Amino acid sequence: MEIRNVIIIGGGPAGLSAALYTARAGLKPLVLAGSPPGGQLMLTTEVENFPGYEEIMGPDLIQTLRKQVLKFGTEILDDNVKEIVTSSHPFTIKTHKTEYSTKAVIIATGAQAMWLGLESETRLRGKGVSACATCDGFFFKNKIVAVVGGGDTAMEEAQTLAKFAKKVYLIHRKDSFRASKIMQVRVRENPKIEIIMNTSITKVLGEQKVEGVELVVSHQPSAVSRLKLDGVFIAIGHKPDTAVFKDTILLDKKGYIVTSAVAALDIAKNIPRPDGVMFDYTYQSMTSVPGVFAAGDCVDHTYRQAGTAAGMGIASALDIERWIEKKEVI
């Protein structure tokens, strides 16, 4: 079996940026982009905050990145990984179609926003339904929008939207927030934000775009009302696509991959890590397994932007280039 220099798992901005740099370094990367490939950008309509583009559709941005990495000799396969074996080196990566042998791995599988699970929500995604105020808030200048959620993320989204929107409703299904006290104070003191507690969205209204929502009071299914809106932002959390790696590398309690950079921050915060887990702090993007690196939203639960994911992908590529060079010299 041919031994690859590097296999990149994930075909979003982190994975493709890593592919660009490793390809230009002559490492001939293989990208296992997933099926369907492209990550969250494939569900995004207009992108105005990716450097170099005044405006581009999410799927078009992915296609542009793919075209660029192919130019430099990257191989891309739209296949999903089902297992990674790191007990011996070179590593073995198994997909649903075949298996590969590789000196090093970059995991860039991203994360997915958690949704309410409504048919109307899915149908209007990208047409007024969003999971990212930083990405889409600008499109709702002087509009009326709602944020769904009760944690710090929902509070942050509401405050971000209040900079653009005329009115922001914060809708939470429970009678208390789980967000930090300081975040709650900031939201309650913002004159543009109105809080609606003990209430759930049962339907997003509109055919071609969001026109409102149908609400029901908790524990009172007959208490149905409607609220006119221009946009709905779901902020009930994100889930990293890392389940396949849970028995291979160290993940945090939410499933995000712990890299050496994250581990160093944890030490600074006095957050303990499991006994016996070691990190090589020479390479900030390396995971708990030497030779396995990670980048993008599967690591980052703070920023979650295409631009930051791309930057992390580049950093992991530079790390992996140095690691392979050092290992082969030794």
Residue-wise burial string across 24-62, b where 16 or more C-beta atoms lie within 10 A, e elsewhere: ebebebbbbbbeebbbbbbbbeebeebeeeeebbbeebb
Q: Are residues 121 and 108 in the same domain?
A: no
Q: Are residues 9 and 60 in the same domain?
A: yes
Top-confidence residue, 219 or 162: 162
Q: Are residues 30 and 131 in the same domain?
A: no
Catalytic machinery residues: 132, 135-136
**Position 320: which residue type?**
I
Render pLDDT for 286-306 as a digit per residue (tens, 0 to 9). 999 999 999 999 999 888 889
Cα separation, 156 vs 144, in Å, equals 17
Q: Which two tokens stand for residue 324?
A: 């392979």
- pLDDT range class, residue 324, cuts 50, 70, 90: very high
Length of the chain: 330
**Quick one: average pLDDT of 268-280?**
78
Q: How many domains does the chain have?
A: 2
Domain that includes residue 181, residue range: 115-234
pLDDT at 233: 97
* Residue that terminates a domain, selected from 170, 205, 234: 234
- pLDDT range class, residue 329, cuts 50, 70, 90: low
- For every residue of 269-280, DSSP letters joined together read TT----TT----
pTM higher than the cut 0.85: no
Q: Is the pLDDT of residue 45 over 80?
A: no
Q: Are residues 152 and 84 in the same domain?
A: no
Residue 125, domain CATH? 3.50.50.60
Q: Considering Cα of 275, then 280, then 281, then 285, what sign does the dihedral take?
A: negative
Q: Is the pLDDT of residue 84 over 70?
A: yes
**Quick one: average pLDDT of 9-29?**
97
